[in-house]
Amino acid sequence: MNLESERAALMQTSRDWARTAASGDLEQTLSFWSDDAIVMPPGQSAVVGKAAIREFLQRTSTIPGFSITWEPEQATVANDADLGFMVERNRVTSAEATGAIREQFGKAVTVWRKDSMGRWKCVVDTWNENPTEVAIPL
């Protein structure tokens, strides 16, 4: 098992996912999660399973000025390369009542499981805010 190439594959998957999310393609964006994935957004209940995550994405996309992007910082995989996780940093935007765009920087943890086809799928996805003063622009 080449763990270095597995780590690189995870990092690339995160970057591909961010590009897909930015494109607005909902079904392609959803395809990066496993069917049983758990999304844990700040201030909201956990969102469990693909159908609930689809609704969550649809709801989120209606937020004025909404955008999200992220960049992986590090990836770790298990010896058997069946499980892995990444630490990522992200940037979320939304429009204030004045129309001004507000930026919120955060940090994320994603856990990944390899499926029967050998593809890494995200099984847990959570994030929270950084203080503004340590925001790292992407």
Which residues in this chain contact a copy of itself in the complex, by CB under 8 A? 38, 40-46, 76-80, 82-85, 87, 107, 109, 111, 113, 123-124, 126-131, 134
Strands (E), 9-116: 33-40, 47-48, 67-77, 83-95, 101-114
Measured from the CB atom, the residue of 29 and 88 that comes closer to a copy of itself is: 88
| Measured distance CA(75)–CA(104) in Å, rounded | 23
| Measured distance CA(6)–CA(13) in Å, rounded | 10
Measured from the CB atom, the residue of 21 and 37 that comes closer to a copy of itself is: 37
State which amino acid sits at residue 31.
S
Measured from the CB atom, the residue of 28 and 76 that comes closer to a copy of itself is: 76
- The answer to whether residues 95 and 64 touch, using CB atoms and an 8 Å cutoff, is yes
User: Tell me, what DSSP letter sits at residue 62?
Assistant: T
DSSP strand pairing (120-129 vs 101-114): antiparallel
Measured from the CB atom, the residue of 32 and 89 that comes closer to a copy of itself is: 89
